[in-house]
């Protein structure tokens, strides 16, 4: 078997979408599982829709999530350049070859005429496709019109009878009748190729063995196969990934800004959680384990485990998964990831020990990094209580607890969780209090809520002086 070579070939027409991240991830994981190569190619021939900064976002996002390409822009490789706008002469040569072989033709129809054709077809509820007016034009006449400077596009001359039959690694046998297919434009009026020509030519020249891409390209595959066959090339193996669906089962739009990877990062989702979650949108591991690293995914990845059915984007599951990583990854890493959220919220985090303690204590109670500042704000200010909390603190038992602990804490020479715990136990025994009467006033004074982290851990974050200050505030 020849070396596995796969590619991720996005267009810089917007920030990288979670669906694009999944396509890149599956290609990368498959390449690594087979000891093959993962190629990045920038398909930037649609200049009207190109978004400034989109290419940089793509490179940064892949790097951030550990998806490293073996060949591509900025890295090179034996098939460079890997940016399509730098390969126009190559596509033009193959477009001319397709015309010479009778597999493509010049089309001179105006945009106005094409709009009129489509309007009639929509009205008659017919398939929207080119009517073939220029299809039978004599090549000499067409070349004269080209030489005269008349505007044109180049279209594929698709077969009009029979069916295209091909095999897909996910869907097995696929058959599409030729009559459903349009004479696709492969070179636009501006001289730039469309995806159908450029991707097919590049996949062949770059020796791509497997094409892993979204299900939306399934219906276009016959056009690509036709180009392969017309040029005498062997097609790659096809792998069309299932759609990603909203919770209402509608298709997740790749142009929806809220579903860009950058948008999810801004909401405080960790890269580890996004990779893990996206991997499960259509791929099913052999075991029931739901949490795994990128390395573990690459080791166990197989095309056989990709399903046909659309994968529902479950936000509840993503929040759960992100929460699991927040709780279990190293606290220093979580604190570093959360810094921007604290700074944007106006927190002074110059005391790194205090900041690290606060993050460590509150990360168990949130699902996203952006929720941490609100959860941890009590460690930068004396907690404000609700009316119910004030009523609890006014009770004589609460007053006794505060007075007792202020005295005991003041006498401590070493401020440790163990010593604090001993003081709380002494308070319980000496005042003969337990349960709500003991713990509610302590938590309210130190955290602002009756529910929260363990008391010794709370005091560790506040430190001795601030802990005593917070307790004193509520003593009448």
Residues annotated as catalytic are 254
Cβ proximity of 218 and 180 under 8 Å: no
Residue 438 has which token pair?
């003991």
Distances from the Cα of 408 to the Cαs of 151, 424, 425, 471, in angstroms? 90, 9, 11, 12
Distance CA 184, CA 182 (A): 5
Burial 445-474 (b: 16+ CB within 10 A, else e): bbbbebebbebbebbbbbbbeebbebbeeb
Cβ proximity of 457 and 370 under 8 Å: no
Distance CA 19, CA 8 (A): 12
Q: Which helix (H) or strand (E) covers residue 175, if one does? A: strand 172-177
Write the CB contacts of 67 (distance below 8 Å, at least 6 apart in sequence): 24, 25, 28, 38, 294
Write the DSSP string, 259-270.
Answer: GBHHHHHHTT--
DSSP state of 414: S
Q: Which helix (H) or strand (E) covers residue 107, if one does? A: strand 104-107
Instruction: Read off φ and ψ for residue 157, nearest 5 degrees.
Output: -100, 80
DSSP state of 34: T
Side by side, which strands form the sheet with 185-187? 104-107, 153-156, 185-187
Residue 101 has which token pair?
């072989």
Question: Which residue's structure tokens are 């002494």?
Answer: 426
Cβ proximity of 459 and 467 under 8 Å: yes
Residue 108 DSSP SS3: coil
Distance CA 462, CA 378 (A): 9
Residue 312 has which token pair?
């529902």
Instruction: Read off φ and ψ for residue 282, nearest 5 degrees.
Output: 120, -15
Other C-beta atoms within 10 Å of 247: how many? 11
Nearest to 207 by CA among 99, 70, 86: 70
Write the CB contacts of 147 (distance below 8 Å, at least 6 apart in sequence): none
Distance CA 80, CA 91 (A): 14
Cβ proximity of 367 and 334 under 8 Å: no
């Amino acid at each position: 078997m020849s070396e596995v070579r796969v590619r991720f070939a996005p267009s810089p027409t917007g920030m990288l979408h979670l669906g694009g991240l999944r396509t890149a991830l599956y290609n990368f994981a498959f390449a690594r599982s087979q000891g093959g190569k993962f190629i990045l190619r920038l398909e930037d021939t649609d200049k009207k829709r190109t978004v400034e900064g989109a290419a940089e976002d793509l490179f940064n996002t892949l790097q951030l999530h550990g998806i490293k390409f073996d060949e591509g822009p900025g890295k090179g490789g034996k098939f460079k350049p890997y940016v399509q706008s730098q390969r126009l002469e190559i596509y033009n040569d193959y477009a001319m070859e397709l015309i010479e072989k009778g597999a493509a033709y010049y089309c001179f129809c105006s945009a106005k005429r094409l709009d009129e054709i489509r309007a009639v077809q929509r009205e008659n509820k017919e398939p929207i496709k080119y009517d073939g007016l220029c299809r039978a034009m004599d090549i000499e006449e067409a070349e004269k019109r080209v030489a005269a400077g008349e505007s044109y596009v180049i279209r594929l001359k698709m077969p009009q009878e029979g069916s295209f039959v091909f095999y897909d690694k996910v869907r097995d046998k696929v058959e599409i009748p030729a009559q459903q297919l349009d004479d696709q434009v492969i070179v636009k009026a501006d001289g730039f190729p469309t995806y159908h020509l450029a991707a097919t030519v590049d996949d062949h020249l770059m020796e791509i063995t497997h094409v892993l891409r979204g299900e939306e390209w399934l219906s276009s595959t016959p056009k690509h196969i036709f180009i392969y066959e017309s040029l005498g090339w062997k097609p790659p193996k096809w792998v069309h990934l299932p759609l990603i669906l909203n919770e209402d089962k509608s298709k997740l739009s790749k142009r929806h800004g809220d579903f860009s990877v950058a948008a999810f990062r801004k909401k405080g989702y960790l890269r580890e959680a996004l990779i893990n979650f996206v991997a499960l949108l259509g791929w099913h591991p052999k075991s029931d384990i739901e949490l795994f690293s990128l390395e573990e995914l690459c080791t166990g990845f197989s095309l056989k485990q990709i399903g046909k059915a659309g994968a529902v984007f479950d936000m509840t599951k993503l929040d759960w998964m992100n929460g699991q990583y927040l709780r279990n990854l190293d606290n220093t890493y979580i604190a570093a990831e959360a810094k921007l959220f604290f700074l944007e919220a106006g927190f002074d985090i110059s005391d790194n020990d205090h900041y690290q303690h606060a993050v460590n204590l509150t990360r168990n109670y949130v699902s996203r990094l952006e929720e941490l500042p609100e959860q941890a704000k009590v460690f930068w200010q004396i907690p404000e209580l609700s009316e119910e909390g004030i009523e609890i603190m006014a009770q004589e038992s609460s007053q006794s607890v505060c007075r007792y602990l202020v005295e005991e804490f003041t006498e401590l020479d070493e401020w440790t969780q163990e010593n604090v715990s001993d003081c709380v136990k002494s308070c319980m025994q000496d005042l003969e209090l337990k349960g709500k009467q003991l713990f509610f006033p302590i938590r309210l004074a130190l955290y602002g809520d009756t529910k929260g982290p363990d008391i010794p851990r709370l005091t560790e974050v506040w430190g001795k002086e601030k802990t005593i200050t917070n307790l004193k505030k509520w003593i009448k």
